[in-house]
Chains A and B, each alone.
Chain A
Amino acid sequence: MSLWEKLERIDRRVLYGLLWIVVLPVLYYPINLPIVISDLTTEYYNQIEAIPAGSVVVLAFDLGPAGWPELGGMCYASMQHLFTRISETRPNPIKVVMLTYWATGAALIPNCFNEVYGPMDKMGAVYGEDWVNLGYIAGGEVGMSNFAADVWAAKPTDYQGWLVNDATKLPMMQNVRTIQDVYMLISIESGTPGYEEYLRQWWTRKTTLRILVGALGVSIPGVEPYRPTRVQSYLPGGAGASQYISLVGKKVPAVLPGQMGKKAVGVNDALSTSHILVIIFVALGNIGYFLRPRRK
């Protein structure tokens, strides 16, 4: 076998091994390659910055543990950003409703909150007054339709069993009755149900609803056709997460960059090194294909 044929048929185990070598070290010891902020990430950030005081925002964790490595950073940063906005908009703060239509997403919300609990607590966000966690809502797309028509009937209790119509425990929910009361939806999602179902069940009932999406890299071709009229902006996969974390980190330096900032830089570096490796291998494969001797 000639050199060119070898280039065309490199064993996949070699590629797997090299991928490990270029990804693993930079995840643990980031080399701080620059993070270029895209216009999509800037728009996502600006949309949250522009939420008017007193508005209700739904933060949906429509993902499972499989999507967490790619989307977890967006969840942390979006939650942190919203809690910062609660603090900034006092005395009429924005209200944040967290929920999920994925059974596996329910456990991720408190996990996410616990990770950043200290800094958010210092910002004075009060459970029940400024934010609630409704947990899992059953029914997928039908559940979304129920929520849009009647929030209290669709999810009578929060994640710890408190009644949503109890004005003493969850006073903010007294003003969240239908989708008409919601200003913005931020959906961080790794599949169905997701933005398409929200568009069908929520946006069609309230066409002024602002929608931001955090999606897996492979889902982006599906989201793009809805931007900017239906979906105002989106964060594309791990790259989008890294960019957004670095933006939020500039705003909340006490929290970010800390552990999250380090993770963001590590993911950013790993994306760069792995993409470069794939491009090199694609080039080698094509060089081998064109230069190998042809049989007559």
Chain B
Amino acid sequence: MTWYKRREGPLIVTIVVALFLIFEWYFGKGALIPETTKASGEIQRFVAFILAFVIGVGALNVLRIHWHRIQRRKPGDYSWVYSSWLFILIILFVVTGAILGAIPYEYDPEAAAYVAHRTAEPSYVWMFDYVLSALDATMYSILAFFIASGAYRAFRARTAEAALLLIAGTLVMLGNAPIGGFMWTGFIDISTWIQRIPMMAGMRGILIGAGLGAIAMGIRILTGRERGYLGGGE
């Protein structure tokens, strides 16, 4: 295997960087070894830069996949129409946001110079407000119907546990719905108690478990036992 395909390189980089950041967290901030803090900051800014770059790579990948789908156009399969629409909108957003938004064409008397609209570019804002926002909000709002239907089907007292869930769920709903407190303020008290005592106990248990799991995963990555993040299906 060629040297750049070997896994030892990324593993060593991961372990060295992780150990350095952990070391800096515990010893750099207390002015014990303050020089490490600057280097740690640089590493983290580099990560933020890579993450921003990855968004561009992701967009290109989406374009590539949908371009192939448009080219193939299987008989009877009209999904290429949606792919075309997605393709057009991505291009439009990039053109209006990244290109038109960057052209300085409005005179700013305060700055005595022509300035760019940037994110306030009118056509970009129009598309954001009246296309993306409207569609995104609609998709999320549809959840209300599914939740209502799901609650009707799931909240059925078939067993003792299900009955408990039904009672707790109904009381929390009555406590959270504004009209519940108006009907009887006790609903708010009961709902608050359910959320602050039994629910919180359960959630804290889950959070502590997840925290311990994250530590265990970190140790596995540090020791090179966990290699899933390198890809390759191993």
1/0 per position for A219-235, CB-CB distance to B under 8 A? 01110110000000000
A10 contacts partner chain B, Cβ-Cβ < 8 Å: yes
Given contacts A33-B178, A275-B176, contact A65 B195 (CB under 8 A): no
Given contacts A65-B137, A285-B155, contact A222 B148 (CB under 8 A): no
- Write out the residue numbers on chain A whose beta carbons fall within 8 Å of the beta carbon of B216: none
Given contacts A138-B51, A272-B178, A272-B179, contact A153 B207 (CB under 8 A): no
Please list 10 pairs of residues, one from A and one from B, whose beta carbons are closer than 8 Å in the complex, sorted by A's number: A36-B188, A103-B55, A159-B118, A236-B176, A239-B177, A272-B178, A272-B180, A274-B144, A278-B151, A278-B152
Nearest opposing residue in chain A for B202, CB measure: A221
Least Cβ–Cβ distance between B164 and chain A, in angstroms? 13
Contact of B166 among A68, A146, A282 (CB under 8 A): A282
Query: Which 8 pairs from chain A and chain B are nearest by CB?
Result: A139-B48, A275-B177, A272-B179, A36-B181, A65-B133, A138-B52, A65-B136, A66-B140
| Interface residue stretch chosen among B11-19, B37-45, B64-72 | B37-45
A239/B176 in contact, CB under 8 A: yes
B177/A282 in contact, CB under 8 A: no
1/0 per position for A144-176, CB-CB distance to B under 8 A? 011001100110000111000000000000000
Least Cβ–Cβ distance between B21 and chain A, in angstroms? 10
In the assembly, what is the distance between CA of A39 and CA of B152, in Å?
Answer: 30
Least Cβ–Cβ distance between A199 and chain B, in angstroms? 11
B140/A279 in contact, CB under 8 A: no
1/0 per position for B25-55, CB-CB distance to A under 8 A? 0000000000001001100110111011001
A15 contacts partner chain B, Cβ-Cβ < 8 Å: yes
Given contacts A110-B120, A150-B41, contact A139 B51 (CB under 8 A): yes
B203 contacts partner chain A, Cβ-Cβ < 8 Å: yes
A294 contacts partner chain B, Cβ-Cβ < 8 Å: no
A142/B157 in contact, CB under 8 A: no
A281 contacts partner chain B, Cβ-Cβ < 8 Å: yes
| Interface residue stretch chosen among B74-82, B124-132, B223-231 | B124-132
- Write out the residue numbers on chain A whose beta carbons fall within 8 Å of the beta carbon of B137: 65-66, 68-69
B200 contacts partner chain A, Cβ-Cβ < 8 Å: yes
Interfacial residues of chain A within 250-296, with CB under 8 A of chain B in the complex: 268-269, 271-279, 281-282, 285-286, 289-290
A220/B195 in contact, CB under 8 A: yes
- Write out the residue numbers on chain A whose beta carbons fall within 8 Å of the beta carbon of B207: 225
Contact of B157 among A19, A146, A154, A286 (CB under 8 A): A286
Residues of B that sit less than 8 Å from A by CB: 37, 40-41, 44-45, 47-49, 51-52, 55, 115-116, 118-120, 125, 128-129, 132-134, 136-137, 139-141, 144-145, 147-149, 151-153, 155-158, 166, 170, 173-174, 176-182, 185, 188, 192, 195-196, 199-200, 203-204, 207
- Write out the residue numbers on chain B whose beta carbons fall within 8 Å of the beta carbon of A107: 119, 125, 128-129
B37/A149 in contact, CB under 8 A: yes
Least Cβ–Cβ distance between A219 and chain B, in angstroms? 11
A221/B195 in contact, CB under 8 A: yes
B173/A275 in contact, CB under 8 A: yes
A143/B48 in contact, CB under 8 A: yes
- Write out the residue numbers on chain B whose beta carbons fall within 8 Å of the beta carbon of A273: 179
- Write out the residue numbers on chain B whose beta carbons fall within 8 Å of the beta carbon of A68: 133, 136-137
B44/A225 in contact, CB under 8 A: no
A247 contacts partner chain B, Cβ-Cβ < 8 Å: no
Contact of B140 among A67, A272, A278 (CB under 8 A): A67
Which of A68, A138, A221, A273 has most B Cβ within 10 Å? A138
A106 contacts partner chain B, Cβ-Cβ < 8 Å: yes
A65/B188 in contact, CB under 8 A: no
- Write out the residue numbers on chain B whose beta carbons fall within 8 Å of the beta carbon of A159: 118-119
B152/A10 in contact, CB under 8 A: yes
Given contacts A33-B178, A161-B116, A285-B152, contact A146 B133 (CB under 8 A): no
Least Cβ–Cβ distance between A111 and chain B, in angstroms? 7
A38 contacts partner chain B, Cβ-Cβ < 8 Å: yes
- Write out the residue numbers on chain B whose beta carbons fall within 8 Å of the beta carbon of A290: 157
Given contacts A66-B136, A275-B176, contact A282 B170 (CB under 8 A): yes
Nearest opposing residue in chain A for B155, CB measure: A282
A279/B52 in contact, CB under 8 A: no
